[in-house]
């Protein structure tokens, strides 16, 4: 089913797949429609929602002619639904939006300006602040991550804007990278052009129990995220015993932690984590145990860490001036550090526990 309110092509398309995001849809959609840059089409696909999201989307589409709403009868999944909304957009520039997050009013304007000033750039993301289910700001901006050479994205998927031709040349999202389809895309787009980051918090990323990573089959998600980390730190292939890197549980538990809950990963970590006598195991075990005993004090501690390290690099970045994320250089460095062995990778690779 298609419900379109407008048909004129525009230079910018905002795209958003939706799957059971009911409680957060209004704030997400209104944050896009109220942007200071207003000349865009808003392509939304309802990906088989069962929670009433469809009705909310139809109501919004009837009120604003920029919305092009497509209603799917079944879920395509993360990668396929993301490809679908891009394929059905008409803009030369495409801005991603996630259905449970909130955009700063100047987000689109600032990203368009950044790409216009850098013809060699093919994508720009923005820094972010973390909010919980009630919209409370819990996790501060973290510019420190921009000062590091790392293959791990400093911006959330929903904050990106990219050139459509570069996306097509990169091959779009790949189904084999479900649950890390964004990171996989960035690595391929980095071979086409530079990736920029705006060092301002122009995006508010929501941690909630409705996250796709938390509502999907957990063993499948753990395996997929483990595959992402292995690729990032230079470990080839999947483990024969089904064990996953401990940092996987920090990634999954952080969503629960920043939503105001316990990470609830200690049991799974002990059952399925590839534990060893190394710094990564020790750090993750401490994080998981602390989060189980007192999640509120762990959040307070990590919030302080993020504020302190953001402050420590305050002179390196200027508001409004994008910087380059050198993902390819970072990935090569991490692969060299791994020294062709998983044991070496574990020794040199301690996860960011404030992620």
Tens-place pLDDT, residues 222-236: 999 999 988 887 777
- Among all chains, which residue has been given the structure tokens 């799957």? 19
> Which pLDDT belongs to residue 57?
97
DSSP 8-state class, residue 246:
T
Percentage with pLDDT > 90 across the chain = 74
DSSP 8-state class, residue 207:
P
Q: CA 138 to CA 129: how far, in whole Å?
A: 8
Mean residue pLDDT of the chain comes to: 90
Q: Which two tokens stand for residue 59?
A: 């109501």
Q: Which two tokens stand for residue 63?
A: 């009120």
> Which pLDDT belongs to residue 328?
61
Q: Which residues of 235-269 are buried (b: 16+ CB within 10 A; e: fewer)?
A: beeeeeeeebbbbbbbbbbbbbbbbbbbbbbbebb
> Which pLDDT belongs to residue 274?
92
> Which pLDDT belongs to residue 211?
80
Burial of 313 (0-12, 13-18, 19+ CB in 10 A): middle
**Banded pLDDT at 354 (limits 50, 70, 90):** confident
Phi, psi for 250 (deg, rounded to 5): -70, -45
Instruction: Note the pLDDT tens digit of each residue in 289-340.
Output: 999 999 999 999 999 999 999 999 999 999 889 999 988 666 656 555 554 4
- Among all chains, which residue has been given the structure tokens 């402050």? 311
Q: Are 21 and 102 in contact (CB under 8 A)?
A: no
Q: CA 274 to CA 279: how far, in whole Å?
A: 13
Phi, psi for 176 (deg, rounded to 5): -70, -10
Q: CA 273 to CA 267: how far, in whole Å?
A: 10
Per-residue pLDDT at 346 exceeds 50: no
Instruction: Give long-range contacts, CB 8 A cutoff, 24+ apart: 303-309.
Output: 303/138, 303/139, 303/140, 305/354, 306/139, 306/140, 306/141, 306/142, 306/144, 306/354, 307/140, 309/142, 309/144
Per-residue pLDDT at 4 exceeds 90: no
- Domains by residue range for the chain, with CATH: 2-206 (3.90.550.10), 212-308+325-348 (no CATH)
Instruction: Note the pLDDT tens digit of each residue in 24-52.
Output: 999 999 999 999 999 999 999 999 999 99
Specify the pairing of strand 12-18 against strand 93-96.
parallel
The mean per-residue pLDDT over the stretch 166-194 comes to 95
């Amino acid at each position: 089913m298609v419900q379109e309110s407008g048909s004129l092509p525009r230079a910018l398309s905002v795209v958003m797949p939706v799957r059971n995001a009911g409680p957060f849809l209004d704030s997400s959609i209104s944050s896009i429609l109220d942007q200071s840059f207003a000349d865009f089409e808003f392509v939304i696909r309802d990906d088989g929602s069962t929670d009433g999201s469809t009705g909310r989307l139809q109501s919004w589409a009837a009120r604003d002619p920029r919305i092009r709403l497509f209603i799917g009868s079944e879920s395509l999944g993360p990668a396929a639904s993301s490809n679908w909304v891009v394929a059905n957009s008409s803009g030369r520039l495409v801005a991603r939006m996630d259905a449970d997050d909130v955009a700063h009013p100047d987000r689109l304007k600032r990203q368009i300006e950044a790409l216009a000033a850098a013809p060699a750039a093919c994508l720009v993301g923005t820094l972010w602040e973390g909010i919980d289910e009630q919209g409370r700001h819990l996790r501060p901006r973290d510019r420190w991550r921009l000062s590091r050479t790392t293959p791990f994205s400093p911006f959330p998927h929903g904050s990106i804007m990219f050139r459509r031709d570069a996306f097509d040349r990169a091959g779009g999202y790949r189904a084999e990278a479900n649950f890390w389809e964004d990171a996989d895309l960035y690595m391929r787009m980095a071979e086409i052009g530079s990736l920029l980051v705006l060092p301002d918090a122009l995006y508010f990323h929501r941690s909630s129990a409705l996250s796709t990573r938390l509502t999907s089959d957990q063993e499948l998600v753990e395996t997929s995220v483990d595959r992402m980390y292995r690729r990032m730190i230079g470990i080839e292939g999947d483990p024969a015993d089904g064990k996953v890197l401990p940092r996987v549980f920090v990634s999954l538990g952080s969503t629960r932690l920043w939503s105001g809950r316990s990470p609830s990963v200690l049991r799974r970590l002990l059952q399925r984590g590839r534990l060893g006598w190394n710094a990564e195991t020790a750090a993750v075990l401490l994080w998981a145990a602390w989060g189980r005993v007192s999640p509120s004090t762990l959040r307070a501690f990590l919030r302080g860490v993020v504020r302190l390290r953001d402050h420590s690099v305050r002179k390196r970045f200027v508001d409004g001036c994008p910087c380059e994320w050198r993902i390819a250089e970072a990935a090569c460095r991490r692969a060299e550090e791994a020294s062709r062995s998983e044991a070496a990778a574990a020794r040199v690779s301690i996860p960011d526990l404030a992620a």
